[in-house]
Amino acid sequence: MDASVLIESFADFAKQKNIDRPTMIRILEDVFRTMIRKKFETDDNFDIIINADKGDLEIWRFREIVDDNSEDIWDHDKISLTEARKIEPDFEIGEEVAEEITLEDFGRRAVMTARQTLIQKVKDLEKDILFQKYKDLVGEIISGEVYQILSREVLLIDAEGNEISIPRNEQIPKDRFRKGDQVRAIVDRVEMINGNPKIILSRTSPVFLERLFESEVPEVYDGLITIKRVVREPGERAKVAVESYDDRIDPVGACVGMKGSRIHSIVRELQNENIDVINYTENMDLYITRALSPAKISSIKILEDEGRVSVFLKPDQVSLAIGKGGQNIKLASKLVGLEIDVFRELGEFEEEDVDLDEFGDEIEDWVIDELKRIGLDTAKSVLQLTKEDLERRTDLEEETIDDVMKILKQEFE
């Protein structure tokens, strides 16, 4: 293989991989200098001239002519007068010999090795470019096409044909992908695994929701409204605290849009995730009150030293504050950065009671619905009846009624 074929084939390959010309020349020179060092031990006195466009390569070796008996005759940059005159008969001591070295001088095996090295260097460079490109995109939304669905991850292809991944734990639980689907997610992190860049996307990150607001709400994108904090139970519920720097702009209204037009597209993207947008404030009491919406709070006691806050509510507001499966209070705690403890506020003559919905973790929903059907919506209203009355008035079996009454009695022991 001559120099022109080697360089032209490499140049074509590099262009296919979008490697710029200066980088391509640098790689070629690095590989040829490696060949020189292997054959001549050093490349200090060699010049390499490359014209990648024409496939031209020139390698020149420069040595100073010394007397045949000189002690310096074995130095890498010296040549004896006798050897020099084999190149040019009229050379004299002290002159410099410029000798051209061809690829054939290195041997066929060295040239084939150089070709493989060139290809490998481009592939390594391509990996580095891809790694750096996505490193700079961390936290940004990108889109990819699903091409393979595996048990632990979904593999996508980006616009340039690069493989990207959404692991199972970074997918919204309700996500269902099919081959060919276009999927949006944020670049969560980029890792090098065995020398290959692994690009990991996320649809569960709070940052994904933040970027969706930026794309759907111009005021957020322009910086007129700031998203102070986002907390999520992916696919279920989220709370977003927003603040406006312009008194004329209602941040909550702007984010929700007229008749919910702006937030609806975000909700659809997140598989119908219920999004509460609240107005951020430095007033912690008010912030906690807004975070626990839709529940109405009677009073608040903040224990900052302990990182906790005690919230007192009327009995009928407790289940609203806690939310389904404890979601509302959990997200509110994350939003305000304090552990929230809920207490029932009793009136002077009011006997403590508990809403049946608060037993949702222990009693199945259909059982609670059956009790509500006959007008029983608190624990004590159920316990005031006998087991026989409950059997007669509901469609519940005796064993189920025993379990329910045992759970409710434990609440007051």
- 113 and 81 in a common domain: yes
User: Is 274 inside any structural domain?
Assistant: yes
Where residue 326 falls (left for φ over 0; alpha for ψ -120 to 50; beta otherwise) is left
Averaged pLDDT for residues 9-35:
79
285 lies in the same domain as 271: no
- Whether this prediction's pTM lies above 0.75 is answered by no
CA atoms within 13 A on the CB side of 60: 9
Which stretches within 54-107 are classed as H helix?
Answer: 81-87
Report yes or no on 208 lying in a domain.
no
Q: Is residue 45 part of a domain?
A: yes
pLDDT in tens, 264-302: 999 999 999 999 999 999 999 999 999 998 888 988 988
In a domain, 21, yes or no: yes
Domain count, the chain: 5
Same domain, 299 and 393: no
Q: How many CB atoms lie within 10 A of CB 302?
A: 16
- For residues 75 and 55, membership in a common domain is answered with yes
Q: List beta partners, residue 313.
A: 344
Run of H or E residues at 304: none
CATH, residue 325? 3.30.300.20
Query: What are the residue ranges of helices labelled H in 278-357?
Result: 284-291, 315-322, 327-336
* Residue 60 counted as domain residue: yes
CA distance 362 to 339: 23
In this structure, are 390 and 293 located in the same domain?
Answer: no
Residue pLDDT, tens place only, 89-105: 888 888 898 888 888 88
Asked whether residue 51 falls in the same domain as residue 104, the answer is yes
Predicted local confidence at residue 2, as pLDDT: 62
- Contact (CB, 8 A) for 291 and 239: yes
Q: Domain with 150 in it: what CATH number?
A: 2.40.50.140
Same domain, 265 and 159: no
Structural domain of 261 = 214-278
The mean pLDDT value for 76-90 works out to 88
pLDDT in tens, 350-372: 556 788 888 888 888 888 888 88
